[in-house]
Amino acid sequence: MEDRVVIVGAGQGGFQAAASLRAEGYAGPITLIGEEPHLPYQRPPLSKEYLLGKQPIEKADLRPRAFFEAQSIDLLTGERVIEIDRADHIVRLASGGSIPYSNLVLATGARVRKLPADILSTQGVLYLRNRDDAIEIKQRLNTARSVTIIGGGFIGLEIAAAARALGLRVTVVEAQPRLMPRVVAPLISDFYRELHSAHGVELLFGSPPIPPADLVVAGIGVIPNDDLARAAGLDLALSICGGITVDQYLRTTDENIYAIGDCAEHANPYAADRIRLESVQNAVDQAKCAAANIAGRIEPYHAVPWFWTHQFDIMLQMAGLSAGAGQAVARGDPQSGKFSVYYFKQTKLIAVDSINRPADHILARKLLAANANLTPAQAADVNFDLKGTLA
C-alpha cells in the first residue's frame, strides 16, 4: 500500500495535522478533506473581531490556497466522507469517489447542541459554530435592535459583548445560577456578572420565560462528531463527554486511525478522568503530536490545557483544568480588574484563571507543567515569588 495520510476535517486540528506532517519531514501524499467550501480557517475571531467589524471574514483563513499547493497538500473542500472501510484502508466520499490511506486522522470536530423544542420554538434561532453562521449573525446584528442570548458560557457571552458594543439591547439567559459555571470559580463568575451588567447586559438565571427579541442566538454546548467512527466500529467514550476513544499517542482502537481535537476523548495528565477538550490549543497540540507519531517520532500527548475568552476589554486566560478543585484563592485585587484565581485539589495546584494578567497565565502554564510545589497561602500572597517554586 502506498504511504498516504488522509485527514478528515479541515478545521484547526485537521489543518495543523497536515502542516505538522510536512514539518516532521513526512514526504508521502497528504489529503485534507473538509465539508465546508472554504479554506481552513480559525474559529475564535468569528465570535469576537469579526462580529465587531474589526476583521474581515477572509482574515480568519489559516493560510492562502498557495500554501497547500506549495506543501503538496491535496485540499478537498465542500466534500464529505461518508464511510471508513477499515479492511481495505479506504474512505468513501459523498461525491462517489474513494481515497486510500495508510494512516487516517479524524479531526471531525463537533456540532452545536440544539435547543429542545419544548423550551423555545426553534424557528429563527441561530447558532454560531462555523463561518456561514457568523456571516448570518453579523448580517442580523446590523439590522436588529435587540438580541437574546441563550447560554452564559464563552460563546454566548462573547456574542453578548459584541452585540452590546454595537449598541443593541442584549439579554443573556443562563439556566445555572451563575455565568460560565462549568469552567470557573464563583469569584470569576461574579466578576463577569458585574462586567456584563455594567455594560448594560440584562442577565437572567434559572428558567425564566425567554424574552422576545429581533435576534435569538443559542450557545448551549456542542456534541462530538463521532458518527463515522461509530459506523466503523471504533471505540467511543462511555462518559457523558462522549467522543472517540484514543490512547496516549492519540490512536483509536485501530492503530492506523488517529483522532484529535474536539472529537477525541483522551487520558489527560491534568484531568482526574478521561476527558474531551474543546479548545484551539488542544486541537493544535494534539495535531502536532499525532503528526509526530505518524512520521515516526513517537511521543505521548501531555500538553498543559489552556483556554481564553475576550469580552469587552477583559481577557480571561485559563491554564489547567479546575474541575474537582476543593479550594480557590485569589491573587491580586478583583476590584482592580487584574487578578488571578489559583485552584487546588487537596494540596496540589491544578489550574489558574487570569484576568488581564498575561504574565500570570504564562507562569501558570510553567507551574503546572513542572508540577510545582505551591500552597494556597503562597499563591494568595502577592509578595511571594511564584517563580521560585520552579527552581
pLDDT digits (tens, 9 = 90+) for 346-365: 889 999 999 999 999 999 99
DSSP label of 200: T
Read off the amino acid at residue 79. Answer: E
pLDDT above 90: residue 391: no
pLDDT at 72: 98
CATH numbers and ranges of domains, the chain: 5-112+222-294 (3.50.50.60), 125-218 (3.50.50.60), 313-390 (3.30.390.30)
Q: Rounded to an integer, what distance in angstroms lies between the CA atom of residue 12 and that of residue 172?
A: 29
pLDDT for 116: 81
Instruction: Give the pLDDT confidence score for residue 207 in this predicted structure.
Output: 84
> Looking at residues 167-188, what average pLDDT do you find?
95
Query: Residues 205, 176: contact at Cβ < 8 Å?
Result: yes
> Grid coordinates 452585540 are at which residue?
163
Question: Rounded to whole angstroms, how far apart are CA atoms 14 and 34?
Answer: 9
Average pLDDT rounded to a whole number, residues 74-103: 98
Sign of CA dihedral 239, 240, 245, 246: negative
Average pLDDT over residues 26-49: 96
Phi, psi of 380 (to 5 degrees): -80, -20
Looking at this protein, which amino acid is placed at residue 165? Answer: A
Q: 119: pLDDT confidence band, cut at 50, 70 and 90?
A: low
In the prediction, which pLDDT does 31 show? Answer: 98
| pLDDT, position 120 | 59
For 48, other C-beta atoms within 10 Å of its C-beta total: 17
DSSP letter at 216 equals E
Mean pLDDT of 203-208: 93
Q: State residue 122's pLDDT score.
A: 54
Q: Indicate the range of 19-23, 175-179, 210-214, 300-304 predicted with least confidence.
A: 210-214
Q: Nearest Cα to 252, choosing from 261, 241, 264, 262?
A: 264
Residue whose cell numbers read 458560557: 153
- pLDDT of 205 reads 97
pLDDT by residue (tens digit) across 149-159?
999 999 999 99
Q: Which grid cell sits at 373?
A: 510545589
The per-residue pLDDT for 241 is 84
At 123 the pLDDT is 58
Burial 185-209 (b: 16+ CB within 10 A, else e): beebbebbbebbeeeebebbbeeee
pTM recorded for the entire structure: 0.95
Q: Could you give the CA distance from residue 42 to residue 13 in angstroms, rounded to a whole number?
A: 10
Q: What is the predicted pLDDT for the residue at 1?
A: 61
Q: Residue 384 — pLDDT band, cuts 50, 70, 90?
A: very high
**Eight-class DSSP state of 163:** H
Nearest Cα to 141, choosing from 164, 172, 123, 115?
164
**Per-residue pLDDT at 117:** 73
DSSP conformational letter for 166: T
Please give the pLDDT value at position 229. 98
Percentage of the chain beyond pLDDT 90 is: 92
Residue 380 has what pLDDT? 96
For residue 170, give the H/E element and its range: strand 169-174
CB 1 within 8 A of CB 44: no
Residues 39-62, mean pLDDT to the nearest whole number: 95
Quick one: average pLDDT of 304-329?
95
